[in-house]
Amino acid sequence: MGHRKIRNLVLAGLMAAGTMALSGTADAAGASDAMLANTCAGCHGTNGVSGGPAIPSIAGMKKEILFSMMQQFKDQSRPSTIMGRIAKGYSEGELHQIAAFFEKQKWVNTTAATDAAMAAKGAKLHKSKKCKGCHEENGATQDSEENMFRMAGQWPGSLYLMMKNYQAHDYPNAPKKMIKRLKKLSDADLHALANFYASQK
Amino acid sequence: MANLTRRTFIQAAGGVAAVGLIGAAPRDAAAAKAKVVVLGGGYGGAIAAKYIRMADPTIDVTMIEQDHNYYSCPLSNAVIGGFRDINVQKHSWAKAASKHGYKVIHDTATLIDPKKKVVKLAGGKSVPYDRIVVSPGVSYKYGDIEGHSKKISETVIPHAWKAGPQTVMLRKQLEAMKDGGTVIIVPPKNPFRCPPGPYERVSLIAYYLKHHKPKSKILILDPKNKFSKKGLFEGGWKKHYGYGTGKSLMEWLPADGGGKVVSIQPGSTMGATVVAGDMEDEHQGDVVNIIPNQEAGKIAIDSGLADKSGWCPVDKKTFESKLHKGVHVIGDASIATKMPKSGYAANSQGKVVANAVVAMLHGKDPGTASYVNTCYSFLTPTHGISVAAVYKLKGGVISKVKGSGGLSPGDASDEFKAQEAQYNESWYGSIMSDMFA
């Protein structure tokens, strides 16, 4: 059988499938990156710039990091209240599309007021507790190898909750040393660190 | 003719009739001065207007909105519960309109003429459109309960199902009620705006009574035998408000247990005698909150966009009305199959319709739609619960993606509940910025 003949058979098959599926053909093409990512904006804000204290901004996050976090929410290796339930609604390919969309969006610093005294205490902890070794540039650095996202200018409430959750729950994919150090910190320390990173713009 | 832009052609041809004439023809980017009207600036409309402009800033978008300020329904039960200021619920369109370049006309739309492609306003103006997005919310069927009326709802028995003055009125009535009083809450029949809303309201009124008027109680007279997030609400009521014990702050009478309200005799300033059930039992309410049965917003009904059910049938891919071409209906007023009538659903539909309207004006296929709902409720200020789902279109039905979404776990820890309460607040912050920034 020649190539052309095979191709014609394939085409005939596709046409038959197309006729049967009818309205299903558009669905098979898949939603665009923006269509998928815009469904997140109700909670994470337009283009991933969050408007709320406890929900993080995800604009400008490296796509590998965001993809991996969503994938971990989906397989529940990253504990969550609601993100696990939502991430399960998207295929791996769709999660890649969503991550690619948000990587292209511009980071915007939080508008939340930060406490100067707490931020100063947080700045000391950032050094003394060795956060600084990895979270360079006062938390502005992102590293996709380590799933390390930007903390500088992030909503302090969301940073506090993330650290609190690292203390309370099991995160098999998180750096063990970081977890060990985090677990030694008091609640006031966590608030101080959250204020410090949030105040970095 | 070839050298004329679309706008000059319309002007040259003398307006409205010409719009319809070329409305059906595919357009390209150069044919860009298309006119879109968005009716209603709420959870659906504010998003549709902004996202159309974000996708194609050459499209002329005009929002028609009757109110000068917006009060968000979501989170307004916290105002009724006494731990949130009504002003936190208040927003206006000016900032988003200027940033994204859409116009706002503050007037009431009285009729859409889908043949002439114009919408008539109470102020006398007619606004032409190429496509119109209708996001009018709900209207209330006061007549389903004998003795009830719009006037009664504005003076004695607030529904507080559109946030604003009635939210404040219900709060003040609770403050004025004596300790030992009875609050009667009457949820509506399905389908209605915000399915968990009446039960969140019960929770937060109970929260107020527990701390300020502990001898009082709430009687729920329900025309239904079950309700949204029922297990989670009842679990929370048991935990916080003694539900199911002799000291319970609330009692729920389902349809089969005498819950169907037949008639009311309103008091002079607040409260009513409420008659319910087959036996026509009389219940005295010191504060009465009737959330009336609902149908699509008046403009949708008056313009022939609703079917016999009182809601608007639409193509789920584009939200274009199945009854009138060129008219799209989103949010509470539309029949969105498996999606609930929630703020987040309207937000998500606002984005789907924005994408569809832009594509269709350019003569393109809108592609595949994706939809989400995420909805939080408070049991107390520090106990939140949620329901979520991701949807795709399957055979004309907006269906939940298998395995996605669902409710908060019933056995969630206190820490989990506290985080969900915080996420409820943050949900509000983000969705408001999505609408108004």
Residue B217's SS3 state is: strand
Task: Please name which of A15, A45, A24 lies closest in space to residue A155, comparing C-alpha atoms.
Answer: A45
Residue from A38, A74, A92, A94 whose CB has the most chain B CBs within 10 Å, to mutate: A38
Neighbours of A185 (CB within 10 A): 18
- Average pLDDT, stretch A130-143? 96
Q: What is the ipTM of this complex?
A: 0.90
Each domain of chain A, given as residue ranges in start order, spans 31-108, 116-199
- Average pLDDT, stretch B237-245? 97
Residue A179 φ/ψ, nearest 5 degrees = -60, -45
Mean pLDDT of chain B: 93
CA dihedral B104, B107, B112, B118 (to 10 degrees): -60
Q: What band does B261 get if pLDDT is binned at 50, 70 and 90? A: very high
Neighbours of B248 (CB within 10 A): 16
Which chain B residue's Cα is nearest to A88?
B404
For the stretch B307-329, pLDDT in tens is 999 999 999 999 999 999 999 99
- Residue ending a domain, choose from B242, B272, B292: B292
Cα distances from B365 to residues A161, B257, B398, in angstroms, run 42, 51, 18
Tally A–B CB contacts below 8 A.
146
For the stretch B339-386, pLDDT in tens is 999 999 999 999 999 999 999 999 999 999 999 999 999 999 999 999
CA dihedral B149, B106, B347, B88 (to 10 degrees): -80
Boundaries of domain holding B162: 146-292
Report how many domains make up chain B.
2
Judgement on whether residues B225 and B324 belong to the same structural domain of the protein: no
* pLDDT for residue B27 is more than 90: no
Q: Which residues pair with B184 in a beta bridge?
A: B219, B288
Q: What band does B44 get if pLDDT is binned at 50, 70 and 90? A: very high
For the stretch B281-306, pLDDT in tens is 999 999 999 999 999 999 999 999 99
B348 and B334 in contact (C-beta within 8 Å)? no
Q: Which position has the token pair 């005698």?
A: B273
Fold of A116-199: Cytochrome Bc1 Complex; Chain D, domain 2 (1.10.760)
Q: Which residues pair with B276 in a beta bridge?
A: B261, B281
Inter-chain residue contact A41 with B430, CB threshold 8 Å: yes
Contacts of A90 in chain B (CB under 8 A): 390, 401, 404
B252 and B199 in contact (C-beta within 8 Å)? no
Q: Smallest CA–CA separation between B157 and chain A, in Å?
A: 33
Q: Give the C-alpha separation, B338 to B317, whole Å.
A: 14
Res A28: pLDDT: 55
The encoded tokens of residue A99 equal: 């991550």
Instruction: Tell me which residue in A52, A82, A86 faces B425 most closely, judged by beta carbons.
Output: A52
Task: Please name which of B343, B344, B317 lies closest in space to residue B328, comparing C-alpha atoms.
Answer: B317
Res A29: pLDDT: 77
Neighbours of B25 (CB within 10 A): 9
Res B330: pLDDT: 98
Backbone angle region of B15, left / alpha / beta, with phi > 0 → left and psi within -120 to 50 → alpha: left
On whether residue B78 sits in a domain, the answer given is yes
- Average pLDDT, stretch A87-115? 97
Res B22: pLDDT: 40
* pLDDT for residue B68 is more than 50: yes
Neighbours of A85 (CB within 10 A): 24
The encoded tokens of residue A18 equal: 């197309």
Q: Smallest CA–CA separation between A3 and chain B, in Å?
A: 32
Judgement on whether residues B324 and B270 belong to the same structural domain of the protein: no
Q: What band does A52 get if pLDDT is binned at 50, 70 and 90? A: confident
Judgement on whether residues B283 and B314 belong to the same structural domain of the protein: no
Ranges of H-type helices in B213-287: 230-241
Q: Which residues pair with B417 in a beta bridge?
A: none
A31-108 and A116-199 in the same fold: yes
Judgement on whether residues B151 and B275 belong to the same structural domain of the protein: yes
Q: Smallest CA–CA separation between B344 and chain A, in Å?
A: 7
Q: Which position has the token pair 């994706």?
A: B370
In CATH, which of 1.10.760.10, 3.90.550.10, 3.60.21.10, 2.60.40.1120 is domain A31-108?
1.10.760.10
Q: What's B223's DSSP letter?
A: S
| B-proximal residues of A, 54-113, CB under 8 Å | 54-55, 81-82, 85-86, 88-90
Backbone angle region of B405, left / alpha / beta, with phi > 0 → left and psi within -120 to 50 → alpha: left
CATH number for the domain including B206? 3.50.50.60
Judgement on whether residues B60 and B162 belong to the same structural domain of the protein: no
Judgement on whether residues B175 and B283 belong to the same structural domain of the protein: yes
| A-proximal residues of B, 383-402, CB under 8 Å | 386, 388-396, 400-401
Contacts of B347 in chain A (CB under 8 A): 41-42
Residue from A23, A43, A104 whose CB has the most chain B CBs within 10 Å, to mutate: A43
Which chain A residue's Cα is nearest to B430?
A51
- Average pLDDT, stretch A125-138? 96
Q: Does A22 touch chain B (CB under 8 A)?
A: no
Q: Does B49 touch chain A (CB under 8 A)?
A: no
Instruction: Tell me which residue in A45, A85, A88 faces B434 most closely, judged by beta carbons.
Output: A45
Q: Does B382 touch chain A (CB under 8 A)?
A: no
